[in-house]
Structure 1
Amino acid sequence: MGPGCENICDATHGTQSPMNSGNCLCDGCYTGKGCNIECDGHGKCVNGACQCKVGWRGSKCEVPGCPGNETDCTQHGVCNTALHECVCTPGMW
């Protein structure tokens, strides 16, 4: 793909559609210009679905999260997605 054929659309995880368009449509767990990044680099594909590493969420592990419940820090704090850590509610540890 690309003007100089410099980009590859990984035929295992993507399909160029329409042909010679430069658009690579990714399958299931894959992302990236050439569909060559598994679970956005933050997880593993298991049975066609991404299992995200701690601190990541989303269908392709593309959304920063936090330990605990990933979004609400086990209902005892607020998630600072930039740092991937919980800020606990006063009185919680």
Structure 2
Amino acid sequence: MGRLVYLKDVVTLQLDAAKCIGCGECTLVCPHGVFVKENGVARIAFRDACMECGACARNCPADAIAVKTGVGCAQAVLNTMIGRSGDGCCSLDSGCC
């Protein structure tokens, strides 16, 4: 089974490589393995697999990661499950997730 991909080129995830201290926290907390560590620093390897949960940014001690949480597929799926409508990139009945 391959990686989950939500929508191509819509994720808000950003990594400032100059700030990265190479701790690897992002690789540990990301539920979809979006980050890899190479040559002592993190790199975004699977951007479109990001569900914009924010775990990476919340756990980055160097503040090198930015992502707008609550705007992506994960939030849309959760909103749909609890009966809310939202502006996320997909919903359960749209067929994209």
Q: TM-score, normalised by structure 1?
A: 0.29
Higher-helix-fraction structure: 2
Larger Rg: 1
Structure with the larger RCO, 1 or 2 (CA within 8 Å, 6+ apart): 2
More strand by percentage: 1
Could you tell me the TM-score, scaled by structure 2's length?
A: 0.29
